[in-house]
Amino acid sequence: MDKQFQKSFKALVDFLFIVLSPFIRLFTYVTETTKRKIIFGAASFISLIVLIFVLFSVLQQKWTNDQLRIIEWLINTDRVNSSDIKQFINEHETIGPHVLEFPIATDVSVIQTFVVKDYFKNNDFIVVDDQLPAWFLDKVEKPSHRTTLYGRILLKPSTTESIIKALNGQDNAETQLAEIYNLVTAQKNGQDGILLTKAFIGNIFFVRGADNQLHSIYVLWIGSRWVVGPGETPGENYRWSIGRQVFSRT
């Protein structure tokens, strides 16, 4: 019996004791007919509560197991293995409020001015989605020092806004297009690396565009090339599916 079930069962017993205590005290002062009615009513009430509790426990466990199986199927086996996920669930009982877990770090160097359209449009291993707006290709980024990015697996469907909140704000979430390009170049043939490549599950980055607004974009390996396309902006209701990898500065 796991810890969550034990806590829930104890709470159920406490609840039943509080609800039935007044009837137990009155039990000695009523007639036999009334006693039988009280017993029948209490038994029916307890049976209904226990049935609801059992169904809730089964559904809750099924939800956790489904999440586990989906995450195991989505992520690269060399990125996070099943034992790590099981350990996480055992330690936290359920996924609950945890949005992003299993961090991995990578160092990225950008040593020159980065004109986005000169790099993303002039190669044979990246396809830029036609729906990506002008803020993307019009951007020019200044050189920067060697930086570290962290990739984390998304554990439950989440909006862009909730992901940024989990990363403690836009400053921590923001990355550079030059950094994305360097990561993609390191895996330009779809080989294993920090970017997820399996099961058509993309990687999520947050980039400040030429319009000075923070945007989300996805980077997805489709079997022969990488696709870079628009995600959602903060405040929209679209939910990214679990198993995707989110990159940030912390």
Question: How far does the chain reach from its first CA to its final CA, in angstroms?
Answer: 37
Buried b (16+ CB within 10 A) or exposed e, 173-205: bbbbbbbbbbbbeebeebeebbbbbbeebbbbb
| pLDDT by residue, tens only, the chain of 250 residues | 455 556 666 766 676 667 666 666 666 666 667 767 767 777 777 777 766 666 555 545 555 565 665 565 555 445 666 666 666 656 655 555 566 777 778 887 766 888 888 888 878 899 888 777 777 888 888 887 778 899 988 877 888 888 999 899 999 999 998 999 999 999 999 888 889 887 677 899 999 888 888 989 999 998 889 999 888 655 567 788 877 889 998 8
pTM of the model: 0.67
R_g of the chain computed on alpha carbons = 26
Q: Measured in whole angstroms, how far is the alpha carbon of residue 29 from the centre of its chain?
A: 57
